[in-house]
Amino acid sequence: MDLGLIGLPGAGKSAVLRLLTGAPAGTRTAVAQVPDPRLDVLASLFHPRKLTRASIGLTELPAFLPGRTPRAEVNTVLDLARRADALMAVIRCFRDPAVPHPLSAVEPERDARALIEELILADLERVESVAARLGKSHARKPEETRALEALTLCQPVLEGGQPLRGAGLTEEQSASLSGYGLVTGKPLLLAANLDEEDLRGGQGVPAPLRALAAEAGVAVIPFCAAVEEEIAALEAAERADFLAAYGLEETGAERLARAAYAALGLISFLTAGEDEVRAWPIRAGTRARQAAGKVHSDIERGFIRAEVAGWADLERAGSWKALREQGRLRIEGKDYVVQDGDVIEYRFNV
């Protein structure tokens, strides 16, 4: 699963990529591990040889200035955005005059709105052209007829300046459009790159940006790239003190990675043993047998049952054995809908 980072020039996209992935400057695509304190708890119980976190791909898309960047360049960015599973728009909120803003004044709400409108416009153009082409076609395939019906629903939504995300398309309608490269149906997150003072003073996300996010129905995650760089350079012990001084429980990089994971529609089930403690990304709603296939296709094929514990129950019990003795281990069948934070031991036949 891949997250595309979009934004105006100098908003802090590269900083986000660097902070979440640890990749050296200049890298445009890298893998971010998703922080999960539950894994650390399990690791302290099982002392595994290996700890494997869930990961997501991050790609920095080239910057563009809505309304100014030539159309062909914007289209290149949009093509990259179409390949992402979700988008994170990095919005400059920090004022530092040493870093010039391409539109001179720092106005986060304007930048975010311009990006959102650009994406809506791109979809509208696409919807119009595809609908026109399919409408004229005399040899329309059944799936094209379904797509045309869905496009007819999309057009007024986009014309009204709204993204397809909240348009109430059924899963079937969305699926019929999946090959047409629409971007506003993808999950979107705003990452507000704040000034250090705003982070410390607790002012947080500027009110107009917050209002826009609420209006657009998207989450906005505050962080400060400059502060994050400082935190990244600290030892673990110093890090906790540093965060406490800001009144924070986790770093901005952790918040961003977690929000991205959630935006991608992913949750984790966990496996724990002496060999490995690991988080497995699945889509919310995945059933036990299908989830088993993530671990190994043999387990999916030979599935007998899943032995499931909430990670917190396992922590309280201290071991699988104690948990079993206390009768708190749940036995679930193939159709059990796996929950975030379930620790699972699969029983299977090969």
Ligand X SMILES: Nc1nc2c(ncn2[C@@H]2O[C@H](COP(=O)(O)OP(=O)(O)OP(=O)(O)O)[C@@H](O)[C@H]2O)c(=O)[nH]1
Residues at the contact surface with Mg ion, assessed by CB under 5 A: 13-14
Per-residue binding letters, 180-199, with ligand X (x by CB under 6 A): -------------x------
Identify the three-state secondary structure at position 45.
Answer: helix
Does position 65 interact with ligand X (CB under 6 A)? The reply is no
Question: CA triplet 227, 228, 229: central angle to 5 degrees?
Answer: 90
Q: What is the DSSP annotation of 91-147?
A: EE----TTS-BTTBS--HHHHHHHHHHHHHHHHHHHHHHHHHHHHH-SS--HHHHHH
- Euclidean distance between CA atoms 265 and 255, whole angstroms: 16
Does position 73 interact with ligand X (CB under 6 A)? The reply is no
Does position 96 interact with ligand X (CB under 6 A)? The reply is yes
> Which tokens in the block code for residue 120?
């809506």
Smallest distance from the beta carbon of 28 to Mg ion, in angstroms? Answer: 8
Smallest distance from the beta carbon of 249 to Mg ion, in angstroms? Answer: 29
Does position 204 interact with ligand X (CB under 6 A)? The reply is no
Smallest distance from the beta carbon of 182 to ligand X, in angstroms? Answer: 25
Cβ nearer to ligand X, comparing 105 with 237: 105
The stretch near ligand X (CB under 6 A) out of 2-10, 146-154, 245-253, 293-301 is 2-10
Cβ nearer to Mg ion, comparing 176 with 193: 193
Does position 11 interact with ligand X (CB under 6 A)? The reply is yes
Cβ nearer to ligand X, comparing 252 with 281: 252
Does position 63 interact with ligand X (CB under 6 A)? The reply is yes
What Å distances lie between residue 303 and 29, 122, 132, 348, CA to CA? 36, 45, 48, 4
Does position 9 interact with ligand X (CB under 6 A)? The reply is yes
Identity of residue 41: V
- Euclidean distance between CA atoms 77 and 81, whole angstroms: 6
Q: Which of residues 212-251 bind ligand X (CB under 6 A)?
A: 224-226
Name which position in 4, 12, 35, 48 contacts ligand X (CB under 6 A).
12
Name which position in 4, 13, 39, 206 contacts ligand X (CB under 6 A).
13
What Å distances lie between residue 289 and 52, 109, 175, CA to CA? 21, 45, 24
Smallest distance from the beta carbon of 223 to ligand X, in angstroms? Answer: 8
Q: Which of 250, 211, 231, 229 has its CA nearest to residue 94?
A: 229
Report the helix count and the strand count for the chain, using DSSP H and E.
Answer: 15, 12
Count other C-beta atoms under 10 Å from residue 240's C-beta: 12
Smallest distance from the beta carbon of 226 to ligand X, in angstroms? Answer: 4
Smallest distance from the beta carbon of 5 to ligand X, in angstroms? Answer: 8
Write the DSSP symbol of residue 249.
Answer: S
Beta bridge partners of 282: 267
> Which tokens in the block code for residue 125?
């153009």
226 contacts which partner out of ligand X, Mg ion, none, CB within 5 to 8 A by kind? ligand X
Does position 99 interact with ligand X (CB under 6 A)? The reply is yes
Cβ nearer to ligand X, comparing 96 with 215: 96
Smallest distance from the beta carbon of 56 to ligand X, in angstroms? Answer: 18
What Å distances lie between residue 253 and 19, 175, 309, CA to CA? 6, 32, 29
Smallest distance from the beta carbon of 197 to ligand X, in angstroms? Answer: 10
Q: Which residues bind ligand X (CB under 6 A)?
A: 7, 9-15, 63, 90, 94, 96, 99, 193, 224-226
